[in-house]
Chains A and B, each alone.
Chain A
Amino acid sequence: MLSGSNLAPSSHQLPPAALIGGVLVLAGVAAVLAAPLVLDIYSVNVLTRSLLLAVAAVTVDLLWGYTGILSFAQAAFLAIGAYALALVSTRLGFSPGTGLFALLLGMGVAALAALLVGWLAFSYGASLLYVSTITLVFPIVFVQLIFAGGNFTGSSSGLSGFDVPDLDTESWFRVAGLLLVAVAALAVTFVRSDFGRLLVAMRENDLRCQYLGIPTARLKVSLFVVCAMVCAAAGWIYAGATAVVAPELGNFVSGTELVIYTALGGRATLAGPIVGAVAIDAISNFLNGALPFLWALIVGLLFVVVIVALPGGLLSLLRLGRERRSRLVPDLVEAAVQTPMQDGLVLQVTTLGKRFGSLIVLKDVSFVARAGDLVSLIGPNGAGKTTLMRCIADGRERSAGTVEIGGHSIRHLPPHRCTALGVGRKFQTASVFESMTVAECLRVARTRIERPSLFRRTPTIALPAAALEVVRATGLGDRLGVETRHLSHGEKQSLELAMVLALEPTLLLLDEPTAGLTGAERARIGELLVDLARRYRLCIVLVEHDLDFVRRISSRIIVLHQGNIVLDGGVEEATQSETVRTIYAGAAHA
């Protein structure tokens, strides 16, 4: 237990889940050690392979089931580990030294390959389909490289007869089994931790994560690299246990088989892929002699049926393996906010321009906003209001000009880096994490400030006073354990506002915060915003269509029309202005 909160009351220590987990691990170890005593040698052999495939299937589940990255490359990473041992042993013979070298080599190469694949796959705006395609290309390249290696890599016939560690079949089974138990135990701990919720958050709404200051691309690449290294380690054992490696081990068909095990067993359960891998791979080996192609046909049919009719996998039939969400609702406490309340300039936009090809959306937009300001951006549809917000929150958006937050230029920084400069952006339609609880959403929003634990779920959430106030004022405090998909539209809007405030921003960007809210909700949000600006000295910039609302709360109004600022002044000035009236009435002026 590395990171822990010292606020944890003793009642949270040693929750029963940890005890159950410990018992399960011990049971797993005992089963792995005892199984070779009762199984015949052929079964032990077959199951060794199945256990190692189960390790790879667990990584597929972490990537796909939890994080939403459908990877077809895991078998190739396993093959890299296997080939590392095979190649090193063929050239140098086997000794503990070369064995360790091979293990490190395999894991290292797998990590580098994963880094490259990850860099290609998780670029800005890459679709899930593109990510999957890249992971599909990787095994194809891997197999071609093995072919290209000729005698050195054994080409299409693979390598065999190399020296391996001198262990009997039963011992290899135990080594494979212990690896699986260890990987499974770590994976279960991981997905149940605060960090595990972050994986789900990225799966559900990657964009929101980026605007919460979370470097999603880097986290996904890291996860991908770690998973690749685990697969490579399993591959090392595979080569040791079988003393044969072949390119088929790492081709994309093997990669899809791991996905099939995961889907059949049940994704996002961790137990499902293990059961799926062991059951299907082992049965394949036993049945392939008797029913050569029929078994593959049955697996194919079963797979299609499960995908269509039982997306939760076969395990969901048993209602086992379902993620048991701890019913413990965390306590909210007030976080000590370090950022000093400054009275100075928060936002300075200078000659900002934005064009899409030849279409000019914003031109020469310049304005400033200070702490405590509540600036409303108004203007007809298509005036460029939302585009302007985007250009402030994402350094890569604008085509000209500069944006400074608290004196720092946002240069061409991606959203998560702009967030670190103090920008908090709330989207037009409430953007939260649908399958997560209110408390979990708030915790994910704190990721930037408090590094989430990899091992445990912290029992308290520390929020800055402003966020706490929103949570309390809107009644979300009583609904912390509710999944957000059950919230009303207004509650989701409030939750997103609280999440953004949890970032401790200095600049709050709100895109139509009252859209779709009832009159009462509108009034409450209005009061809250005024309060945030006055008491917490936040600089708030909001886009709004409801002019009455704007008049009531704003300290300043900026009118945008056809990409230009036509007015920047006080509420009185704006509401009296002839220009504004003309624009809204859509009169001759065009």
Chain B
Amino acid sequence: MSLLLDIATTAAILYAVALGLLIVFGVMGIISFAHGAMMTIGGYAALLVTQEGWSPWASFPAAALAGLVGGAVMERIVLRPLYRRPLDAILATWGLGIVIGQVITLVFGRQVQFAQSPLSGAINVLGVTYSQYRLLLVALAILLAGVIAFILHGTRLGLVTRAVIANEGLSQSLGVNSARVRFASFSLGSALASLAGALVVPLSSVDPNMGVPWLVGAFMLVLLSGSSLVSMAGAAIVLGAAQVLVSTYLNAVLGGMTIAILAAIILRIRPTGFARA
């Protein structure tokens, strides 16, 4: 039982972390290396909220806002000139990641710090004592997926976004301002990344490179899922389960590589991954 809960919560965290990246990838066709840095921004937003003595619940909207603004600025200044050079855009996001990491180091210092968790303690689930916060994450991940699905399928912006994902050239010729869609998606993706950063903070700690270890797992998840929210849920569960099982039954170091290796092999055999499976 505890194993199942581990798998569910691990998958939920992976999902929440990769969600922002998925939106950016779907619309812009690039993997944002700055995703890790945006998570770090979210982590420090949570830290500031704690230091100001506000309710830890406020760290989530604060992080999302910080990410939204940061993403909007980055898209406008750096990424817009690189639409036609996707590989360069990826490198530029890596550069942005370095810049953000260094600025944070200069402002907050290198040391590891801790932020307060909105929920602590454990509750009893079907005979197992389990961390309340990890369970909350599952609910939040589902909620986030729901909100994004609603935005994509229930709003005009979502309709236009899906059109750009399917065929950017055609959308443009139909009068869709694809630059605005890209701007909105990158901002939203960054906001989600920062939010994810704030979400993982209570599980670990805050430091200037806290986002980097999440980066590759999130990449893999996104590459495996194409641009579908549903297939990403499948991918998150499979990879999360593999990671938990390997860490539990083999060893933790191997567990750390599981996602990367498994995803690489799945993609070799089946380049579309979980999409349209």
Contacts and interface: CB of A to CB of B under 8 A. Distances in A.
Interface of A: 70, 120, 123, 125-130, 132-134, 136-137, 140-141, 144, 147-148, 252-253, 256, 259-260, 263, 293-294, 296-297, 299-301, 303-304, 307-309, 311
Nearest to B100: A300
B122 interface: no
Contacts of B103: 297
Contact of B92 (A120, A125, A130, A304): A304
A308 B216 contact: no
A291 to B, nearest CB: 10
Contacts of B4: none
Contacts of A70: 87, 91
Interface residues of B, number: 39
Contact of B261 (A125, A130, A133, A141): A141
Contacts of B271: 123, 125-127, 130
Contact of A301 (B31, B81, B99, B264): B99
Given A293-B102, A301-B99, 15 more contacts: A125-B271, A128-B87, A129-B31, A130-B271, A132-B87, A133-B220, A136-B219, A137-B264, A144-B253, A148-B251, A293-B106, A296-B102, A307-B88, A307-B91, A311-B85
A129 to B, nearest CB: 7
A120 B264 CA distance: 8
Contacts of B212: 253
Contacts of A130: 223, 267, 271
B99 A148 contact: no
B184 interface: no
Given A120-B268, A297-B99, A256 B94 contact: yes
Contacts of B90: 129, 132
Nearest to B256: A144
A557 B101 CA distance: 66
B78 interface: yes
A129 B223 contact: yes
Main DSSP-derived SS at the B contact region: helix
A304 B257 contact: no
Interface of B: 31, 78, 81-82, 85, 87-88, 90-92, 94-99, 101-103, 105-106, 212, 216, 219-220, 223, 251, 253-254, 256-257, 260-261, 263-265, 267-268, 271
A134 B257 CA distance: 13
Contact of A133 (B85, B92, B223, B253): B223
A311 B87 CA distance: 11
A68 B267 CA distance: 20
A483 to B, nearest CB: 19
B95 A300 contact: yes
Given A141-B260, A297-B99, A301-B99, A311 B88 contact: yes
B92 A137 contact: no
A422 to B, nearest CB: 30
Nearest 9 CB-CB pairings of A with B: A300-B98, A297-B102, A304-B95, A303-B95, A300-B99, A148-B253, A137-B260, A307-B92, A144-B257
Contacts of A296: 98, 102
